[in-house]
Amino acid sequence: MEIMEIINLGADLLQTTIGISEAMSKLSPHRQCIIHIINLTKCYVLQNPRIYLCRGRCVDPPPPIILPSSSGSAAFAKTPRTGRGFFGVFKYDLLNRSTQKATEQVAVLFRVPHNIRLKANEFAVGVFDISRECNSHLYTEMSTKVDTTFIKGQAKGPSLTHTGQNVTIRATMSDCSAPVIKVHMSNRDEM
């Protein structure tokens, strides 16, 4: 990756972070989750995002497209005045630019409990077949089962790495009441 691409990528991420921070500052300071995705691939476009949320709302939606060597962010917040945490999953179609076909999807799960002293923040990343719907069934599968299509963990644990057929996804999550998840996606053979 050229130095100017890296600088532009960093500037894009900083600008997005500032915008999300401004939007989040207008909300209650409790239980929110910001997700940053950096697409380090050379030939895959993330497109057509879909979201499933429970007891939360999307306050800054994911961008419709994340091109190679670019980034995007989304922000989610807990529904006010509920004594519970919130959780969700969102995913993007993984479009191969050379074939113009999407055969897989990249998914990110997050779970932010009401009280992080009693339960830990959790997250998961994975690659699924294009036919998988983004709904409560996907959330339940990713949060309760073990499978080769995804990896899950707690924010206080190590970073996650999942390698699919075409891409490798690395992710970290901060362990606080307003966690940030950072996701890096690269070509399988590059990381």
Nearest to 34 by CA among 189, 145, 179: 179
Is there a contact between 18 and 41 (Cβ–Cβ < 8 Å)? no
Cα separation values, 107 from 42, 115, 149, Å: 19, 25, 10
Residue 28 has pLDDT above 60, yes or no: no
Q: Is the entire prediction scored with pTM above 0.85? A: no
pLDDT digits (tens, 9 = 90+) for 122-164: 999 999 999 999 999 999 999 999 999 999 999 988 999 999 9
> Among 2.60.270.20, 1.10.260.40, 3.40.1390.20, 3.40.50.10490, what is the CATH number of 3-187?
2.60.270.20
With 60 as the cut, is the pLDDT of residue 114 above it? Answer: yes
Report the Cα 115 to chain-centroid distance in Å: 22
pLDDT-based confidence at residue 27 (cuts at 50, 70, 90): very low
Q: What is the pLDDT of residue 129?
A: 96
